[in-house]
C-alpha cells in the first residue's frame, strides 16, 4: 500500500465515520423529541385534571344573592382546558417527534400557565408555572421551542397591555419598566436554558461521533482479523 493509497483510505474512512455520526446524532435527537413529547402527553392530561380540581376548589359556584350556579371557571377548566390539552395530546400520541408537535406543545403549555393563573385568582405562586414550563420545554434541547413559548408570553402581555393594561401592570398608565421587569425574568431563564440546550446538542453530537469512530474501529479490527484468518488458512493449505 503506497502513502497515497493510505491517504485515500483514511479520507474514505473519515467520510464514513462522519456520515455514520450524522445518522446516530439524528436518531438520538429524534429519540429525545419523542420521549419529551410522551412526557408532555402525560403532563397535558394531568394539567387538565388539575385545572378542573383548582376550579372546583377555588370557585365552585357563582353567586347572585342567595342563588348559586356552577361557576364559569368550572366550565372554563373543563372546556377550555380540554381544548388546550387534547390537540397536543393527540399530536404527541400520533405524531411524536414531529416538529409541529413540540411547537404546539410549547404554545399550549404557556397558555396553560395563563389559564391556571386565572383559575387560581391570580395567585402569585401560580405564576411559577411559567418558569417551570420553560424548564420542562428545555428538555427538548431545542432553543426554538423556547422562542415559541416566549412569543406566547410576550403576545399575551402585549395584547392585555393594549386592551386592559390594569390586568398586566396593575395601573392604568403603566411605566414601560414594569413590562421590562416582567420580560427580564423570562429572558433571564430563556438565555440560560438556551445555552444548556446548545451545550446538550453539542454533547450529543460528540457522543455520536465517538460511537461512530468506535464502530469504525470495530469494523476495521474485524476486517483485519478476517484477513489474518484467511492468510493463516492459506498458509496451512
Binding-site ranges for other proteins (CB under 8 A) = 26-27, 30-31, 34, 58-66, 68, 71-73, 76, 79-80, 83-84, 87, 90-91, 95, 97-100, 104, 111, 115, 118, 121-124, 164, 166-167, 169-172
Kind of pairing between the strands at 61-64 and 67-70: antiparallel
Kindly state the smallest distance separating residue 58's Cβ from other proteins, in Å: 6
Q: How far is the CB of 172 from other proteins (least distance, A)?
A: 5
**Which position has the grid cell 386592551?**
163
Please say which residue, 92 or 194, places its beta carbon nearer to other proteins.
92
Closer residue to other proteins in complex, CB, 71/197: 71
Beta carbon nearer to other proteins, 2 or 173: 173
Alpha carbon dihedral 24, 28, 29, 30, in 10-degree steps, equals 100
CB of 187 to other proteins, least distance (A): 22
Q: Show the DSSP H helices in 59-164 as ranges.
A: 72-75, 81-94, 99-119, 128-137, 143-163
Q: List CB contacts of 69: < 8 A, sequence separation 6 or more.
A: 61, 62
17 vs 24, beta carbon nearer other proteins: 24
- 43 or 73: CB nearest other proteins: 73
Calculate ∠ Cα 15-17-21, nearest 5°.
120
Q: Which of 132, 134, 130 is nearest to 143 (CA)?
A: 134
CB of 91 to other proteins, least distance (A): 8
Minimum Å gap between C-beta 179 and other proteins is: 14
Amino acid at each position: 500500500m503506497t502513502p497515497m493509497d493510505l491517504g485515500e483510505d483514511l479520507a474514505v474512512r473519515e467520510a464514513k465515520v462522519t456520515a455514520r455520526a450524522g445518522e446516530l446524532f439524528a436518531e438520538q435527537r429524534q429519540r429525545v423529541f419523542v420521549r419529551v413529547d410522551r412526557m408532555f402527553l402525560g403532563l397535558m392530561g394531568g394539567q387538565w385534571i388539575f385545572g378542573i380540581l383548582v376550579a372546583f376548589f377555588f370557585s365552585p359556584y357563582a353567586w347572585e344573592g342567595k342563588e348559586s350556579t356552577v361557576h364559569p371557571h368550572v366550565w372554563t377548566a373543563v372546556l377550555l382546558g380540554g381544548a388546550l390539552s387534547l390537540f397536543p395530546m393527540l399530536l404527541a400520541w400520533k405524531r411524536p417527534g414531529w416538529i409541529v408537535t413540540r411547537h404546539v406543545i410549547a404554545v399550549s403549555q404557556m397558555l396553560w400557565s395563563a389559564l391556571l393563573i386565572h383559575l387560581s385568582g391570580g395567585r402569585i405562586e401560580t405564576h411559577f408555572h411559567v418558569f417551570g414550563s420553560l424548564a420542562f420545554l428545555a428538555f427538548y434541547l431545542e432553543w426554538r421551542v423556547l422562542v415559541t413559548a416566549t412569543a406566547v408570553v410576550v403576545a399575551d402581555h402585549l395584547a392585555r397591555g393594549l386592551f386592559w393594561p390594569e390586568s398586566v401592570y396593575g395601573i392604568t398608565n403603566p411605566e414601560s419598566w414594569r413590562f421590562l421587569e416582567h420580560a427580564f425574568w423570562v429572558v433571564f431563564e430563556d438565555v440560560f436554558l438556551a445555552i444548556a440546550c446548545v451545550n446538550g446538542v453539542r454533547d450529543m453530537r460528540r457522543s455520536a461521533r465517538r460511537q461512530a469512530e468506535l464502530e469504525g474501529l470495530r469494523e476495521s479490527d474485524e476486517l483485519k482479523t478476517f484477513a489474518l484468518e484467511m492468510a493463516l488458512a492459506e498458509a496451512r493449505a
